[in-house]
Structure 1
């Protein structure tokens, strides 16, 4: 059995005679509406003062003394609509025959022309159903322009003098006394609403939510009676009120944290003499610019938790690279010297020692190590061997300025 609650706003309601058997009808209309109903079917008629929108009639019904017909079996669903549901859902009468396939909260109208619709995800047995997906903060419709929703949002903001970033549906729910639903709407990115206020609620769900939100419904009824804009905006809240929760989008995926890899001693072997000469030249230039300041140069020290103890089984070269990467320049110099004891001719180990000393401000010692790196440069050694020497031990070449020098 179905219980249909309609609000006639000047429409022709003769479609009521075509409703399926077992559908009880309650019709709300304005007390000044004197037009004949022209229906044969028995209908419960309730007249209300100043009825302007269907939401006002539906709120009155939910707060009435009876949410079900006085006689007959309890209804499976209550259907809410205005006085002309066929204008918003051409398949409305056929959808009523398919009530066993409805969800507990079921939109029943179609936002677009069914003949042109390409979105059939919400259809029921090839019958068109298309609720509106909208933003609860701005009331903007997803996927298509909606001038009526935009005008409603703009007028509601002006009426209540709201800043541009105020979430509108949350404001309306909070104003009517439901911080719980207001918080839910404020955090949501998307929600659903019936395109023209045509929807159904399973009877047990309806009774549960009416008891739960009795205070909200009472304040909403009082405020919508005097505020036509709130009465219009309230039609955006029906599905949320009856438990069809909105959607909050997931945050953007974050890249997995990558732990720094342990220094590979093999990578140190890629430091060729050319790179060593370049770094030595830079350090020599800095040393020449302040030759007397090296002893007073500040040492770089890190907080104690960062200066970790290196594994006991690490080789001196691995320990030097790891210490340098952690900022422990004293440890790096100490480990590099240990590595040079086993490999005195290793350019990478001596270069690491020179860099660790330079990082501590020990420029003179660093330059001595850079000197040794350059003297081991095969290009320099080959050039010295090729030049003929005179009796006094000098080469036969004219004197040249050194490629770099210490001050």
Structure 2
């Protein structure tokens, strides 16, 4: 039997009555006690969990403690998948047509127009008979979606690079994260490419044997990452789940490995890097928006580069 894992905080769950009988329903509840008769009747298990981490903490906890090694699927979802996946129930009914790693969402938020309604309309025009499911392509370098302006993701990627000491110009966020999790072979592949795909809301399915192949050490490291203090960590994992379990990367990077250092800003000492990290965290803690933080960091970088160029010019003269 397949399984659906729901990471729930306060979302109403009466909709689970429509989940096909092919699926065992496990609810990890980080909110108030669930008392709805409809939910209690359909849920196979309700597991109380402390309210730490985002949905990624719930997912990796399940993978570490409950995963099996077989060809059945486990679906991972937030408590309200319909926001991101209006055809979610019908997608569950069509599990026989899934890939071994399957994205199961369509959008982020209609109210925020992400992705733009015009883009989704074109997609529906191209695939009029398909259920609404759409993996979103994004840059492994700066985390932005490729088909529209994605300022929020760009800001999050920049903050993560700053916190991790990754080059703002040539650093590959995906490769860096994968190495943190001891997934070096995947990191090597990420470094050779520039594009990945993700499922909005971290709603996806994977065969249990795929989860079983993930090394125990990597699961532990991903768990530690999921409960880390940086707000960016949850967003990094949202865009990495499909690739962690085998979805390939796209668009190979032109030959640049031996010359990447020439494209970087001049080296920053570990002490300076720590100071920058602490400054960014302080700005966020004091209420500065992600957009303002990114603008501040960019302006500081421009000033530093201008100063260095000026000094280099003086030394030549």
- Answer whether TM exceeds 0.5 for this pair: yes
Residue of structure 1 aligned with 2:91, choices 89, 95, 113: 95
Q: Which residue pairs with 1:181 in the alignment? A: 186
How far apart, CA to CA, are the structure 1 residues paired with 2:139 and 2:123? 19
* 8 Å contact from structure 2 (residues 142, 158) kept in 1: no
Q: Which residue pairs with 2:137 in the alignment? A: 133
| RMSD, aligned CA | 2.6
SS at match of 1:134: strand
How far apart, CA to CA, are the structure 2 residues paired with 1:233 and 1:84? 20
Deviations 1:88-141 (A, max 9, x none): 111100111111111111101003459942125996952111111011121111
* 8 Å contact from structure 2 (residues 192, 253) kept in 1: no
Shift of 1:2: 2.3
* 8 Å contact from structure 2 (residues 13, 79) kept in 1: yes
How far apart, CA to CA, are the structure 2 residues paired with 1:163 and 1:135? 15
How far apart, CA to CA, are the structure 2 residues paired with 1:115 and 1:12? 30
Relative distance call for 1:89 and 1:10 in structure 2 (3 A) is same
Residue of structure 2 aligned with 1:225, choices 217, 224, 227: 227
Q: Which residue pairs with 1:105 in the alignment? A: 101
Shift of 1:250: 7.9
SS at match of 1:189: strand
SS at match of 2:27: strand
Deviations 1:360-393 (A, max 9, x none): xxxxxxxxxxxxxxxxxxxxxxxxxxxxxxxxxx
Q: Which residue pairs with 1:151 in the alignment? A: 155
How far apart, CA to CA, are the structure 2 residues paired with 1:143 and 1:206? 30
Q: Which residue pairs with 2:172 in the alignment? A: 167
How far apart, CA to CA, are the structure 2 residues paired with 1:215 and 1:179? 12
How far apart, CA to CA, are the structure 1 residues paired with 2:168 and 2:64? 34
Q: Which residue pairs with 2:211 in the alignment? A: 206
Shift of 1:52: 3.2
Shift of 1:237: 1.1
* 8 Å contact from structure 1 (residues 172, 230) kept in 2: no
Q: Which residue pairs with 2:309 in the alignment? A: none
Is residue 246 from structure 1 mapped to residue 249 from structure 2 by the alignment? yes
Q: Which residue pairs with 2:49 in the alignment? A: 48
Relative distance call for 1:75 and 1:175 in structure 2 (3 A) is closer
1:115-126 equivalences in 2 (<5 Å)? 116-120=120-124, 126=130
How far apart, CA to CA, are the structure 2 residues paired with 1:243 and 1:90? 25
Q: Which residue pairs with 2:32 in the alignment? A: 34
Shift of 1:220: 1.2
How far apart, CA to CA, are the structure 1 residues paired with 2:29 and 2:98? 28
Relative to total residues, which structure has the larger helix share, 1 or 2? Answer: 2
Relative distance call for 1:124 and 1:118 in structure 2 (3 A) is closer
* 8 Å contact from structure 1 (residues 101, 124) kept in 2: no
Shift of 1:159: 2.2
Q: Which residue pairs with 1:385 in the alignment? A: none
Relative distance call for 1:145 and 1:9 in structure 2 (3 A) is farther
Structure 1 or 2, whichever has the larger Rg, is 1
* 8 Å contact from structure 2 (residues 104, 205) kept in 1: yes
How far apart, CA to CA, are the structure 2 residues paired with 1:237 and 1:10? 25
Relative distance call for 1:250 and 1:34 in structure 2 (3 A) is closer
Shift of 1:202: 2.3
SS at match of 1:49: coil
Shift of 1:84: 0.4
How far apart, CA to CA, are the structure 1 residues paired with 2:97 and 2:128? 7
What's the TM-score, normalizing by structure 2?
A: 0.69
* 8 Å contact from structure 1 (residues 26, 45) kept in 2: yes
